[in-house]
Chain A
Amino acid sequence: MNIKLRKTINDLLISPKRTSLVVFALVLGIWGLGTVFVSNFVLSNDLNANYQSTTPVHVILHSSKFEGMDLQKFIDRQEVETAELRDFSLQRIEIYPNEWIPLWLYGVDNFNEMKLARIFPETGKRTPDAGTILMERDCKHVTAIDTGDSPRVRIGSRMTALKVSGICFDPAQAPATQDAFIYAYTDKKSYGQITGLPTNQRLIVRLKNVHSADDVKRVSDMLVKDLNINGINISSVEIPKFNEHPHQWQLNTLLFLVGTIGLLAFIMGAVLVSQLMRSVMASQVRQIGILKAIGGSRFQVFQIYIAMLLLMGFGAGIIAVPLSVATGNAFSHFVAWKLNFNILTSIIPASVYAILLGASLLLPVLLSLSILMKGTAISVKEALGDYGISQGKTPREFKMLKRLPVSKIFILALKNSLRNSRRLAVTILAMALGVAIFSTGFNVRQSLWNLLSNVKSEMRYDVQVVLSRQVSREEALRPFEALKNVKLIQVWNGGRGEIQSRLLSTNKGAGIVALPGNSELLKLKMIKGTWLASSTETEIVMNQQAWDIYRQPAIGSQVVLTIEDKDITARLVGISEQFEKAKIYMDLDRYDALFNPAHLVNSIMLVAKENSYEAVIELKKNIENAIVPTDFQVLYVMSQAERVKIIYDHLNIILMTIVFLSFLVLVVSAIGMASATGINIMERTREIGVMRSIGANPKKIYSLFVKEGMITSILSILLGLLLSWPLSKLAAIFFGNLMLGREAVLQYAFSPTGFVVTVVVTILFGWLASRIPAKSAIDIPTHEALSYE
């Protein structure tokens, strides 16, 4: 073997603990970064590939006149690539006995010739038999219904059993179960028979030569104009996000966040390596002099130390790269499962492995390059004149400290900590970043807990029944009056969620919630202004999202709202903070006076006497039973407890991942600190010998080094907690968007539990990081310590 390489290997093996520590830290860093890189490679490609495989729709047109349209002539237009009639309506399906959720039912023209918005058969029939449905596979997350089963479906006020003839996959849809509903597909004829609704009401269109949402809008406007001229009146136009999966933004945000943490873990690993190299170069000054004295050029000496880095990087890469590929794939499958798409990448290309291994080799080298350049530039004379490792700068005088009632050992520890201020700064900064990220994980978790608590405390009803067809107040109340465990029933128009916004909203898409102004069932946190007060003037309260849509009008100003083609002017009295889609609240009586002379309602809010989770679920089942004999067209029945549980279940998995990754960063930074403490101690081996020879016992020396470590830990905790404040604020925004939707607001929250855990864990890590090297320091015999160079 090449002697230079032998020296390199032997130098690494001379301190196997330190080398292993660095390789371990580098493995963690590369693993973190590699996982993100691999998952990014897979996910960024596969989600889009899944989406594009459906031949996505550019525009959806609604009209009752499509029956008389020559569809082929429309498709032959130069702007149109293809088009298909595909009806859609919202129904309800029983997923477990007396548990009902919305069913998004599509009527497909021809399953064998789907030219766009394609779905893919998975199990069972490819084309559903007449009168049966295919269910989208994401339903598996919320129900045990499978091919061959015949779940009950409530069509308006009718109840029917619909046989499931197969399971299909629709990768263009947002994952249905995130909002607790199911997609299903049937043929057009069956659709008409099942729903009793007219068919051919909805035209899905894919356009030619469009490159942006603006292009789609422009061409759609033209098409709508032409269709209207030809007597086909278009009642509404929907333009989905252009060429992008509905949850692409969610994936991007997730990858960005995980990427940031992975990158931080990597940087910390790399900083650790550079610290080791600084220590190696410091401990080998004399050897460098000897190497040069016996004929080694600077480049040849440089090669020895570069090889050291490359070997460590290679060692770490060999472990971390396959690990990264495995976890990257696992993470990709997890995300794919959450977002309901297929992983198409079966083999990670060799180039990805090469990039990861290249990064493992090169990045530590790049980060340590200046240290190596400086270390190998030393002249023979300087190197040979070096009396062992740098003793550091002369400790400064701290006259103030002398007056404080602290031990001399503590003052000495503080002075020693400041001897190598650059290393101290790097150590504190690395550790503080770990603390900040770890603490941020907890704070974001707290933000979400607060949000869930707010949802509970703001919405003081236990179960909400939402009807797609309005009924009179008396009719709405009648089925539930005799129910047990009901304390209060109130009727509203509109309500929570996106589906209700579809039923009742302004022309700008803000959902209307008309409720008794003095209702005790909704107590929103107000950011500005007050809640509805006057029953004579039309007042409104907007949540933040609606306020943004209306360009943030001033409190007290008059706002023009267009509802059902009617313009009204209302005074904005307050802005509420709310995790919700855009909503505008107004008094039910005022709403009825303006828009609803028949006093019809669509939401029935029920408050339980006993509101434990089990009691509310029982009440919900009784409500479902009470609905059966009515002719209500129910959209959904949802308990607050379920809603909160669904949200929490979704969030908790991701939050646990974030806390785990944050913990990983903290571990890497603690290893960094252990390494820095080890280097400090190693550099002062001779000093330890001197201290021993003048009477310091091992206990005092141990105590000195542990105190030094603890000073670094405490400074890191202080800085880390300080950094966690802005970081948590930013993270709250990101996570709010990521997990709750683009418009959701997540307020920064301080987690007292997280604070305690962070402080305890960091102090424990700091103690361990100081204790281990300090213990090894006192094990060195005095004579060896004194002769240490």
Chain B
Amino acid sequence: MNQPILTLQGVSKEFQSKDRTFTALKNVTLSVEKGQYLAITGKSGSGKSTLLNMISGIDYPTNGSILVNGLDIRQLSESKLAKWRGQNIGIVFQFFQLIPTLTIRENILLAMEFVDVIADADRENRVNELLSRVGIAEQANKMPSALSGGEQQRAAIARALANNPEIIVADEPTGNLDSKTADSVNDIFSALALSGKTVIVVTHEKNTALKYHRIVNLKDGEIEL
């Protein structure tokens, strides 16, 4: 058995509102191995996105610990966390979230510039390589608005891979795509997992869940066993 790349131990998350406390995650314990293709499923409000936010360091748990490659990410400052995230976690959003005022090439280069782990001289080649990998090499110099939804999501995946992170997290990456385009995007994630990346995808599509190495179903903030 491979070493776990990601370990969540007793993670809980509570949200305070004026008159009540809402518990989004309840004592979640989860271990993810390197190269695993994991789906987090569940109904709306089950805590899927909250769990993904914990894994990617976007949010902190109220209780429990999260170790990524043995590192407790709660120990990192906001600034260090941003750099760590850029280097270790590639995030793919449902609505692509490309920077609308930059070309696809520039969107990817920006991620490299922020983290600065890819040498300057190698960046252009890497952009070309990543765009070829996701099948949109010819769209490199176009603005996001000139691309279809599927192409934008491929571009977002290429950006997530910019700094060669070990973990890719995707929050309903096909939720905004037609089924044919969604399949092609899922194929990219499968290929990434095959190449050794750990891919964690939040999805509510039960049928696509069959493609994953492992499925974690959340219900009312708890992992359904």
Q: Contact at B115–A10, with CB atoms within 8 Å?
A: no
Q: Which residue of A has the minimal Cβ distance to B56?
A: A293
| Contact pick for B106, options A3, A11, A381, CB 8 Å | A3
Chain B contact residue count (CB 8 A cutoff): 29
Interface residues of B, dominant DSSP: helix
Q: Contact at A3–B91, with CB atoms within 8 Å?
A: no
Q: Given A296-B114, A381-B58, do A10 and B82 touch, yes or no (CB 8 Å)? A: no
CA distance A299 to B77 in the complex (A): 13
Chain B residue contacts of A400, Cβ below 8 A:
none
CA distance A291 to B97 in the complex (A): 10
| Contact pick for B114, options A10, A11, A287, A297, CB 8 Å | A297
Q: Contact at B87–A293, with CB atoms within 8 Å?
A: no
Q: Which residue of B has the minimal Cβ distance to A10?
A: B101
Q: Contact at B102–A7, with CB atoms within 8 Å?
A: yes
| Contact pick for A295, options B78, B85, B97, B100, CB 8 Å | B85
Chain A residue contacts of B58, Cβ below 8 A:
293, 379-381, 384
Q: Given A296-B86, A298-B79, do A291 and B114 touch, yes or no (CB 8 Å)? A: yes
Q: Contact at B82–A297, with CB atoms within 8 Å?
A: yes
| Contact pick for B78, options A2, A294, A298, CB 8 Å | A298
Q: Which residues of B contact A (CB under 8 A)?
A: 53, 56, 58-59, 78-79, 82-83, 85-87, 91, 93, 97, 99-102, 106, 109-111, 113-115, 159-160, 162-163
Q: Contact at A4–B113, with CB atoms within 8 Å?
A: yes
Chain A residue contacts of B106, Cβ below 8 A:
3, 6-7
CA distance A298 to B86 in the complex (A): 13
Chain B residue contacts of A290, Cβ below 8 A:
93, 97, 99
Chain A residue contacts of B111, Cβ below 8 A:
294-295
B-facing mask of A136-178, CB < 8 A → 1, else 0?
0000000000000000000000000000000000000000000
CA distance A294 to B108 in the complex (A): 10
Q: Given A294-B86, A297-B83, A298-B82, do A286 and B97 touch, yes or no (CB 8 Å)? A: yes
Closest 6 CB pairs of A and B: A295-B86, A10-B101, A295-B114, A295-B115, A296-B114, A294-B111
Q: Contact at B114–A300, with CB atoms within 8 Å?
A: yes
Chain B residue contacts of A294, Cβ below 8 A:
85-86, 91, 110-111, 114, 159-160, 162
Q: Contact at A6–B83, with CB atoms within 8 Å?
A: no
CA distance A11 to B100 in the complex (A): 9
CA distance A6 to B102 in the complex (A): 8
CA distance A7 to B111 in the complex (A): 12
CA distance A291 to B114 in the complex (A): 9
Q: Contact at A292–B82, with CB atoms within 8 Å?
A: yes
Q: Contact at A11–B78, with CB atoms within 8 Å?
A: no
Besides A294-B111, A379-B78, A384-B93, 17 more A-B contacts (Cβ < 8 Å) are A2-B113, A3-B109, A3-B113, A10-B102, A287-B99, A290-B97, A290-B99, A291-B99, A291-B114, A294-B110, A296-B86, A296-B114, A298-B78, A298-B82, A299-B79, A300-B114, A380-B58
Q: Contact at A3–B110, with CB atoms within 8 Å?
A: yes
Q: Which residue of B has the minimal Cβ distance to A14?
A: B101
CA distance A300 to B53 in the complex (A): 22
Chain A nearest Cβ from B127, distance in angstroms: 11
Q: Which residue of B has the minimal Cβ distance to A1?
A: B106
Q: Contact at B87–A295, with CB atoms within 8 Å?
A: yes
Pairs A–B under 8 Å by Cβ, sample size 30: A3-B109, A4-B113, A6-B106, A7-B99, A7-B101, A7-B110, A10-B101, A290-B93, A291-B114, A292-B82, A292-B85, A294-B85, A294-B91, A294-B110, A294-B160, A294-B162, A295-B86, A295-B114, A295-B115, A295-B163, A296-B82, A296-B110, A297-B78, A297-B114, A299-B79, A300-B82, A300-B114, A379-B58, A380-B58, A381-B59
CA distance A58 to B140 in the complex (A): 80
CA distance A684 to B213 in the complex (A): 45
Chain B residue contacts of A298, Cβ below 8 A:
78-79, 82
Q: Which residue of B has the minimal Cβ distance to A300?
A: B114
Chain A residue contacts of B53, Cβ below 8 A:
381
Q: Which residue of A has the minimal Cβ distance to B159?
A: A294
| Contact pick for B85, options A7, A14, A293, A299, CB 8 Å | A293
Max chain A C-beta neighbours (<10 A), residue from B78, B87, B101: B101
Q: Contact at A3–B85, with CB atoms within 8 Å?
A: no
Q: Which residue of B has the minimal Cβ distance to A286?
A: B97
Q: Which of A24-60 contact B (CB under 8 A)?
A: none
Chain A nearest Cβ from B107, distance in angstroms: 9
Q: Which of A269-318 contact B (CB under 8 A)?
A: 286-287, 290-300
Chain B residue contacts of A11, Cβ below 8 A:
101
B-facing mask of A580-621, CB < 8 A → 1, else 0?
000000000000000000000000000000000000000000
Q: Which residue of A has the minimal Cβ distance to B85?
A: A295
CA distance A597 to B159 in the complex (A): 107
Q: Contact at A3–B102, with CB atoms within 8 Å?
A: yes
CA distance A380 to B54 in the complex (A): 12
